[in-house]
Structure 1
Amino acid sequence: MFYTLAPRSSHTFNRNFSPAAGHGALEKFLSDTLSGLADASSAKAASVEDEETRYSLQLDVPGLAREQLSIDIEGDVVRVTSKADAPRSVKAAWRFPLEIDVAASTAKLENGVLSLSLAKKIPVSNVSQLAIQ
């Protein structure tokens, strides 16, 4: 059985959830989940395409300049965040099946759309032959 969260406006949820017994972890989970749903309506539009030698990622970031964005790549994880002086906050991360070759990747910001061309790092075999004596 599969479950999916339906996007609803934040005013349809009762945020004053107070169970009879105090369960701090449950309250935190519900609070985080409900506030996440409220933010889902204003979520940034992103698209990812898996091509033969690279991944193409496009993220809508209207109103931000390239100096206000930071793109961090660590192995197979790509993070896009806005800097502290940016007029709006952006935080997004993606994990890809293969590691990213940073040297062969590019980023371009045009008309409020951040376009990343992320080259796939070709796995190299590190197998060595050991001579038998």
Structure 2
Amino acid sequence: MFYSLANRPARAFHRHYAPVVSNGALEKFLNDTFSSLADTGAAKAASVEDLEKAYSLQLDVPGLAREQLDIGIEGDVVRVSSKEDAPRKVKAAWRFPLEIDTANSSAKLENGVLTLTLGKKVPVSNVAHLNIQ
């Protein structure tokens, strides 16, 4: 059987019902698990905007300097991670519909917000035409 986690706000899981059997350990485990699920993910701290010729990605990275961040671009995937000596760990990746043009991309860190302007690579047709004899 396959189960999938539902993405619901933590407040939905903090309803208190009169327990049939009082089991404090189970209740503490469930409350800790569901409240931690609401706090995970970089989706809250990041925003992506699709512009005409580029993508704009903003990521909150408070407390990190530009020397402590590593940005990798491979095709249509962008990875942002912190280096080993950084005071906090950041690791996130995004996949875009088009490949990223690294020559027309830039990164800026200001007031704890990393802003990436990622140029879109225009697809080139590699169609070869054959003459009919």
What TM-score, normalized by structure 1, do the two folds share?
A: 0.73
Matches within 5 A, 1:46-85: 46-85=46-85
Equivalent residue, structure 1, for 2:128: 128
Equivalent residue, structure 2, for 1:113: 113
Counterpart-to-counterpart distance in 2, 1:53 and 1:107: 16
Q: What is the CA-CA distance between 1:130 and the residue it aligns to? A: 1.9
Q: Deviations over 1:21-73 (max 9, x none)?
A: xxxxxxxxxxxx86961642897511110011100000010000011001111
Q: What is the CA-CA distance between 1:129 and the residue it aligns to? A: 1.3
In structure 1, the residue corresponding to 2:102 is in which secondary structure? strand
Percent of matched pairs sharing the same residue:
70
Give the number of equivalent residue pairs.
114
In structure 2, the residue corresponding to 1:67 is in which secondary structure? helix
| Corresponding letter in the other structure for 2:121 | K
Matches within 5 A, 1:14-29: 15=29
Contact 1:47 1:57 survives alignment (8 Å): yes
Whether 1:104 and 2:104 are equivalent positions in the alignment is yes
In structure 1, the residue corresponding to 2:10 is in which secondary structure? coil
Counterpart-to-counterpart distance in 2, 1:43 and 1:97: 18
**Structure 2 CA distance for partners of 1:36 and 1:81, relative to 1, 3 Å:** farther
In structure 2, the residue corresponding to 1:37 is in which secondary structure? helix
Counterpart-to-counterpart distance in 2, 1:68 and 1:55: 23
Counterpart-to-counterpart distance in 1, 2:123 and 2:43: 34
Which consecutive unaligned segments of at least 5 residues does structure 2 have? 15-26
Which consecutive unaligned segments of at least 5 residues does structure 1 have? 17-32
Contact 2:10 2:34 survives alignment (8 Å): no
